[in-house]
Amino acid sequence: MNLPPPDPFLRLKARGSATNVSGRFEPYARTAENDGWDLPEEERLLRTEVSEQTPRSVINAVTSPDLPFDRSLNPYRGCEHGCAYCYARPSHAFLGLSPGLDFETRLIARPSAPERLARELGRKSYRPAPLAIGTDTDPYQPIEARYRIMRRLLEVLGAWNHPLTITTKGTLIERDMDLLGDMARRHLVEVGITVTTLDADLARQLEPRVPAPARRLATIESLANAGIPVRVMVAPVIPVLTEPELERIMASAASAGATSASWILLRLPLEVAPLFRDWLARHRPDAAAHVMNRLRDMRGGKDYDASFGRRMRGQGPFADLIARRFAVAARRLGLESRRAALDVGRFAAPPSPGDQLSLF
């Protein structure tokens, strides 16, 4: 059954969710009801709103044993890309907002994040390790063109010779190739570009404000030509819908210049499960039951299993088959190399104005 729309007179243009269900911490649910007055209503377009936040800290400690990093940073909360499957949607509930439309239309920017990052890097107790950016919400979502927070973060990290990894679907990353290329020459950066499907129509429905798949492949090529190590992230792998494309996505990315690859099975934590089921009912009703049944086969009979080690890969014969297909394709295409080795030994405070520079 479809979830109720937030307002019958609200026009949704290029949005991944069609509902604004209350978050799990909210005591009340809100629905639009006819008040009985015979007055004409005007249709209005739902637009993106951005508020600003001054964070007390920006480096988040990560203790998950199945992740290859121990710290992350997110310049934005919420994501205008509006991916229907986004596992980060439940984080908006902590703000008293909906993981549905609010997540993609009521965004929070952190313009002071670069200055805060510099202060945190300057602490005597700080020990460097690769900083992961984009693991929750995309740092190169559309509002970055206006706020330029990510570019200023790169300037800070580059000045400190601090290693980082970037995960994005946004082609705006090409704007920063001058900074990224310089950091790549110092072995300080690796970029992961997510390609979910090569089907432009399916991508437009799944990821309504993300650049088209062909455009993302062009970004991989541009980054690779600039000497920046690029990993293609086939994520999420959605059973029935995108899973048959696994090898084709990897082959296309390898041809574009990617040197490594990774994959993640569709994750549906908390509010994401009903939101994604609603998306299936609206856009792929003929395949909805097949998709969910196959996913549950890989999730122990549930929509989602949050257990470490299984949440990214699933379990059972179908999950094993995807893993084997990926391994064979990665070996054949030369994408099985490990992630780029990032240099933590260069880390040092940048010179202050008036400091004597080294001759060597």
Res. 347 pLDDT band, cuts 50 70 90 = very high
- 134-143, 155-164, 351-360: least confidently modelled range: 351-360
Looking at residue 4, its pLDDT comes to 60
340 pLDDT above the threshold of 80: no
- 17-31, 85-99, 101-115, 257-271: least confidently modelled range: 17-31
Looking at residue 116, its pLDDT comes to 98
Q: What does the DSSP 8-state code read for residue 336? A: B
Higher per-residue confidence, 7 vs 69: 69
30 pLDDT above the threshold of 80: no
Looking at residue 40, its pLDDT comes to 58
30 near 277, Cβ under 8 Å?
no
Q: Which pTM does this prediction carry?
A: 0.93
Res. 28 pLDDT band, cuts 50 70 90 = confident
Strands 10-11 and 106-109: unpaired
Res. 32 pLDDT band, cuts 50 70 90 = low
Res. 20 pLDDT band, cuts 50 70 90 = confident
Half-sphere exposure of residue 90: CA atoms within 13 angstroms, side-chain side: 12
For the record, the structure tokens of 284 come out as: 């792929």
Kindly give the interhelix angle for 149-159 and 177-185, rounded to the nearest 10 degrees.
20
- 37-46, 161-170, 278-287: least confidently modelled range: 37-46
Which residue is associated with the tokens 């008036």? 354
Residue ranges covered by each domain of the chain: 50-333
Res. 45 pLDDT band, cuts 50 70 90 = confident
Q: Among candidates 128, 184, 22, 182, which has minimal Cα distance to 345?
A: 128
Looking at residue 257, its pLDDT comes to 97
Measured CA to CA, the distance from residue 6 to residue 210 in angstroms comes to 23
CA distances from 348 to 20, 62, 66, 207 (A): 46, 23, 29, 39
359 pLDDT above the threshold of 70: no
Looking at residue 6, its pLDDT comes to 63
355 pLDDT above the threshold of 70: no
2 pLDDT above the threshold of 70: no
What's the CATH code, domain 50-333? Answer: 3.20.20.70
CA-angle at 163, arms to 221 and 54, nearest 5°:
100
**Of all residues in the chain, what percent carry a pLDDT higher than 70?**
91
Looking at residue 351, its pLDDT comes to 85
- Which helix H or strand E contains 328, and what residues bound it? helix 317-333
350 near 159, Cβ under 8 Å?
yes
Res. 329 pLDDT band, cuts 50 70 90 = very high
Contact residues for 337 (Cβ-Cβ < 8 A; gap 6+): 259, 260
